[in-house]
């Protein structure tokens, strides 16, 4: 059976921390910013952890066959 390949699009969008959490950029901070409050725009800069329900699926895409 051939090796599993990393899903490159997903790997570019997600980051794995030293503790094994998968972090992602919050959606909505790229355009139409004039109608959003300063506070809301600041919070787009902060990475947030992927929900546990999705983390296992994303881990397989980033590191197929390997654990995080």
16-53 confidence digits (pLDDT tens) = 999 999 999 999 999 999 999 999 999 999 999 999 99
Residue range of the domain that includes 32: 8-62
Number of domains in the chain: 1
- pTM recorded for the entire structure: 0.80
Quote the pLDDT of residue 68. 64
List C-alpha distances in Å: 11 to 8, 15, 62. 5, 7, 5
Q: How far apart are CA 9 and CA 58, in angstroms?
A: 11
- Domain CATH code at residue 46: 4.10.410.60
**Which backbone phi and psi does 13 adopt, to 5 degrees?**
-95, -15
């Amino acid at each position: 059976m051939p090796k599993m390949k990393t899903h490159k699009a997903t790997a570019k969008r997600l980051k794995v921390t030293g503790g094994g959490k998968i972090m992602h950029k919050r959606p909505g901070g790229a355009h139409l910013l004039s109608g959003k409050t300063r506070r809301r725009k600041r919070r787009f800069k902060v990475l947030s952890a992927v929900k546990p329900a999705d983390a296992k699926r994303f881990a397989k895409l980033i590191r197929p066959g390997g654990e995080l």
